[in-house]
Chain A
Amino acid sequence: MAKRITLTRDEIIHLAKLADLNLTEEEIKKYQQELSQTLDYIANLDELDTSAVEPTSQTTNDKDVFFQDGAKNDRLFSQEKATANAKNKKNNYFAVNRIL
């Protein structure tokens, strides 16, 4: 039986900040519950004995995949295409509210 995890309000606010989300007071409460449940669910994995398993950060078993230096234009975007999804643009730049 997995132990019950309860995220604090401050933890939710911290996580929201890291994820660049603005949460309402209601959402904070909601995620405090739902995110805790998600963690509980994942904590079920703790029941498996992994003491003999090497840690890994990938699943393909590939290693040393490189490309040889050399510029190619195959996948180059035009300025229009590069900025096509931008919410705001100005003279082919992406534009955001001034940050400094």
Chain B
Amino acid sequence: MKIIKTISRHPHGSEDLVSFQIPASAGTTNFMKYIPVIGLEIHVELKTASKMFCQCSADYFAKPPNSNTCPVCLGMPGALPVPNETAVNWTMKIGKALNCQLASLSKFDRKHYFYPDLPKGYQISQYVEPIAVNGYLKLKGKKFRVQRVHLEEDTGKLIHSGKDTLVDFNRSGVPLVEIVTEPDFDNSNDVKEFLQELHTIIKYLDVSDADMEKGSMRLEPNISVRVCHPGLDPGSQKDSLVHENDKLPLPPYKVEVKNINSFNFVKKAIDYEVKRHLEILEKGETPIQETRGFVEADSSTKSQRSKEETHDYRYFPDPDIPPLSFSADYLSATVGSLPELPAAKTNRFIKKFGLKEADAFLLTRDKEVAGYFEKCLTLVKGSRIVEDLPQKLANAILNKRVTLNLGPDKFVQSVVELYKPKATDMEKLDAAVKSVLAKNQSAVEEYKKGKERVIMFLVGQVMREMKGQADPLKVKKELAGKLKR
């Protein structure tokens, strides 16, 4: 076996060496550096009440096939599509949350191709004037650029069965937001974190269920691997790589893995592809540019169709839909104040309540949970019974020590009860300690041999005997005293 190293570059820090093992038979002898180049396309279905260009319900889930269509979303000749303003506004919100510039002029274009899920022979989408462009999302000091956020219509659903492909147009015309990143990723972990953050942001904005299982958020990584020639000075290469990937020419191919519906599957698909590309590149060949599908069973990917030519979609402005113009006033009225986003909330929880970073992060992954936490805190304002109550509340929520089914007031009471210093009946404690030590001779032996951690087990036993009515610190002290003797 031969080991190939790829270098994962961090803009503000270290290099991670990622090793890939490939068969020795592949062998050239040159030591080459390979760097994955990954971009993302993410589709998000909006949860508007009606579809994008007609007033059929956007809720198509589990309805009988072809029971949720009209002349517009079935693409009947002469039907007139009219844009749903809420869908446009929500797309702006997503754009703003991703730090994009919002367009003052926008329009819809027709994207032409033939596929059975597309009734008109074209999809209404946006090409030259998307609703939002040039954004970014920062994660742990790294900046990942968002190229564009645009709005389009979803297609029908295909079911492949025996010799047939069956088409259900209930989903046809549901508003679909496409988010396209620059190829700024060089490893699957960053991709997964980016997607999880994006998912959380979209849930916060309350514009989509973003339910992966139902397909209301679909992920498509574009993957290629850049060969860095050994002749080049690594120092200068590193400088130009620092999240300015576009200064280097992109690899002469890319592989798109279609419609993945889980963050883990995206990670697996990327890891599989990078390894596959490395094996091909090591033979001195170039992987074929193509579209592949993810195969869950063995975490691999499978070729779907070769892009033997570049797509010729013949975009042109949809003459049925007048152009859109958005004044500064309009934009500030519709997207002026976004809710506090997860990253900001995490920081505030750390600064304001002194939470540990990891806990603040976990608490803010779900807007409801974060809200519950804050509601609890407002109920105990001024209370000084329990030291560091915010952190204790956070622990109680995250470790599910107290059920969240309680109302916040009851929850706070239970947490205070749980953590408040217990009045300890010293006589009872003395008896309990003696009894526990007598019953647990082997633990006592272990402790005396130097395995001091055993004491926590004994504390637990005493607490049990005391039915929880004791201050664990006092119990520990008492036990330690007796054990030392």
Contact = CB atoms under 8 A, between A and B. Distances in A.
B107 A57 contact: yes
B343 to A, nearest CB: 29
Contacts of B85: 66-69
Contacts of B74: 77, 82
Interface string B44-82: 000011100011111100001111111110100000001
Q: Chain B interface mostly helix, strand, loop or mixed?
A: loop
Interface residues of B, number: 56
A58 B317 contact: yes
A67 to B, nearest CB: 5
B476 to A, nearest CB: 61
Which of A70, A74, A82 gathers the greatest number of chain B CB atoms within 10 Å? A82
A51 interface: no
Contacts of A58: 317, 319, 322-323
A88 to B, nearest CB: 8
A91 B49 contact: no
Contact of B66 (A59, A68, A83): A83
B322 A64 contact: yes
A76 interface: yes
A75 B55 CA distance: 8
A22 interface: no
Interface range, A side? 35 or more
A29 B187 CA distance: 52
A18 B312 contact: yes
A18 B323 contact: no
Interface in B82-113: 82-88, 107, 112
B107 A82 contact: no
A100 B305 CA distance: 9
Contacts of B121: 20
B324 interface: yes
A50 interface: no
Contacts of B59: 71
Contacts of B318: 57
B164 A77 contact: no
A3 interface: no
B264 interface: no
Interface of B: 48-50, 54-59, 64-72, 74, 82-88, 107, 112, 114-116, 121, 158-169, 304, 312, 314, 316-319, 321-325
Interface of A: 14, 18, 20, 57-60, 62-72, 74-79, 82-83, 90-100
